[in-house]
Amino acid sequence: MKTVSLFSGAGGLDIGAIKAGANIIWANDIMKDACATYKKNIGDHIVCGDLNEHLEELSELQNVDLVIGGPPCQGFSVAGKMNPEDPRSQMIWAYQEVVSIVNPRAFILENVKALGALSKWEGIRNQLLDGFRKLGYSTSYIVLNATDFDVPQVRERVFVVGFKGDINMTPNLHEMMQPYKRKAKTVRDTLSFLDKAGFGNNISTCNAKITLAATPVLRKSPYAGMLFNGLGRPLKIDGYSATLPASMGGNKTPIVDERELYNKEQPWIVRYHESITADPTKAKFELAPQFLRRLTVEEAAAIQTFPNGYQFQGSQCSKYTQIGNAVPCNLGYAVCQMVADVLNKKVKITPTIGKQTTLKL
């Protein structure tokens, strides 16, 4: 599949697309370190800079099969200011402009769950879908959880997918994605190939201190709430990670219990949570036990399902940002493989009966 990649970042979605058969002929991102990472691992066909300044050269591309990309999501995210006028939010329209210029056989647009789920964004969502239909695409969207597609991370994202053809037909992405589901491994199994933090193939340790909150926010689960200062939450080693944020690198970096990970001991956070739930006065501002530490760059990359040995460029803080911003490779692969199978006529588009609604898997 002759493919154009937009907002490529460190290449998470591109890795998945390549595995599904994509031949990426042109890619773009505005972050210099991400472009350097992309060049190091994927190829030098990435153009670094503002997409809007490179639209003219895209008009020279012929016979493109697929456009992929995840426009900046901060303006739509519940973790941000949710401002539709945020310049980053406007980049969904730049993506749509590229589709109009390149005229591919299909496209895949990824963004935060909120864009596909919140009534606040219904107007923008409908405008986006209608815009693609006016360009000649049967278009639909779906919210997917990465854990359903071999990613050990509870990370929900919306995918808008379009196929050149009958604009009055809405693809039933819920049914079309079912064959591509694959249950994820646990965090423990995912990290099993790595050495202990600070050694061998797991060298990039994060030194941000971990302190207990004097007034913790308690929830039923010890892995929710706020038991530590900062937004870094403990990893559920024998389960799935919460969403890895692009703000990792400081006190927002998730927390690993080394005794649990390496010695299979009972999680310290479970005992602590039980203790302060029974008696909140036991919660004090103090350093956490030394066997609690932050997730490393290599571990974060593994949880995002980047290939073993993927070489991120830039400062350590930049590496965390690139990883947090990425589409998990395995999730990207599942969506790209479904689209590839349609383009290669291995499967047919299943139509949706009735009105389009927010869909989940």
> Which residues does the annotation mark as catalytic?
73
Angle at 291 between CA 288 and CA 294, to 5 degrees: 75
What's the burial of 297, exposed, middle or buried (CB within 10 Å: 0-12/13-18/19+)?
A: buried
Whether the CB-CB separation of 28 and 347 falls below 8 Å is answered with no
CB-side neighbour CA atoms (13 Å) of 133 = 16
The encoded tokens of residue 274 equal 């039980």
Residue 358, number of CB atoms within 10 A of its CB: 15
* Separation between Cα atoms, residue 348 and residue 360, nearest integer Å: 20
* Separation between Cα atoms, residue 23 and residue 36, nearest integer Å: 19
Q: Which amino acid is at 359?
A: L
* Separation between Cα atoms, residue 197 and residue 48, nearest integer Å: 33
Handedness of CA 32, 36, 37, 38 (dihedral sign): positive
CA distances from 190 to 116, 260, 267, 330, 332 (A): 29, 14, 18, 13, 18
β-strand 226-228 against 255-257: which pairing, if any? unpaired
Residue 195, number of CB atoms within 10 A of its CB: 11
Distance of CA 276 to the CA centre of its chain: 34
Is 215 strand, coil or helix? Answer: strand
